[in-house]
Amino acid sequence: MSEMVNIFLYGKKYSVPSNLTIMKAMEYAGYQLIRGCGCRNGFCGACATIYRIAGDRELHACLACGTQVQDNMYIATLPFFPLVKEVYNINEVKPNQQIMMQLYPEIYSCVGCNACTKACTQELDVMQYIAYAQRGDFEKCAELSFDCVMCGVCSSRCPAGISHPQVAMLARRLNGKYIAPDCAHLNERVQEINEHKYDGMLEELMGKPIEEIKELYNNREIEK
Q: What CATH number does the domain containing 67 carry?
A: 3.10.20.740
| In a domain? residue 90 | no
The percentage of the chain sitting over the pLDDT mark of 70, rounded to a whole number, equals 99
Residues 107 and 171 in one domain: yes
195-220 tens-digit pLDDT: 999 999 999 999 999 999 989 988 88
The answer to the question of residue 199 being in a domain is yes
- 108 with 174, same domain: the answer is yes
Q: Would the pLDDT of 223 be above 70? A: no
Structural domain includes residue 223: no
Confidence (pLDDT) at 174 = 97
Asked whether 126 and 120 are in contact (CB, 8 A), the reply is: yes
Of 96, 99, 114, nearest to 162 (Cα)? 114
- In this structure, the answer to whether residues 109 and 146 fall within a common structural domain is yes
Average pLDDT over residues 95-124: 94
Do 146 and 172 contact (CB within 8 A), yes or no? yes
**CB 46, CB 153: distance < 8 Å:** no
Evaluate if residue 48 carries a pLDDT over 80: yes
In 3D space, the residue among 121, 119, 146 whose CA is nearest the CA of residue 132 turns out to be 146
Q: What are the residues facing 21 on neighbouring strands? A: 68
* Whether residues 56 and 9 fall in one domain: yes
Residue 57: pLDDT band (50, 70, 90) is confident
166 and 114 share one domain:
yes
**Predicted pLDDT at 140:** 97
> Is 161 found in the same domain as 210?
no
Q: Measured between alpha carbons, how far is 160 from 17 in angstroms, rounded to an integer?
A: 39
List the beta bridge partners of residue 5.
Answer: 16
Is 133 inside any structural domain? yes
Confidence at residue 181, expressed as pLDDT on a 0 to 100 scale: 87
pLDDT of 128 over the 90 cut: yes
- Please tell me the predicted confidence (pLDDT) of residue 185: 85
Q: Are residues 101 and 174 in the same domain?
A: yes
Q: What is the pLDDT of residue 2?
A: 77
Confidence of residue 35 (pLDDT cuts 50, 70, 90): confident
Co-location of 59 and 101 in the same domain:
no
Residue 170 belongs to domain spanning:
97-179
- In the sheet that holds 4-9, the strands lie side by side as 12-17, 4-9, 73-77, 48-53, 60-63
* Model confidence band, residue 1 (pLDDT cutoffs 50, 70, 90): low
Domain check: are 118 and 165 in the same one?
A: yes
Residue 4 has pLDDT above 80, yes or no: yes
**pLDDT, tens digit (0-9, with 9 covering 90-100), for 133-169:** 999 999 999 999 999 999 999 998 899 999 999 999 9
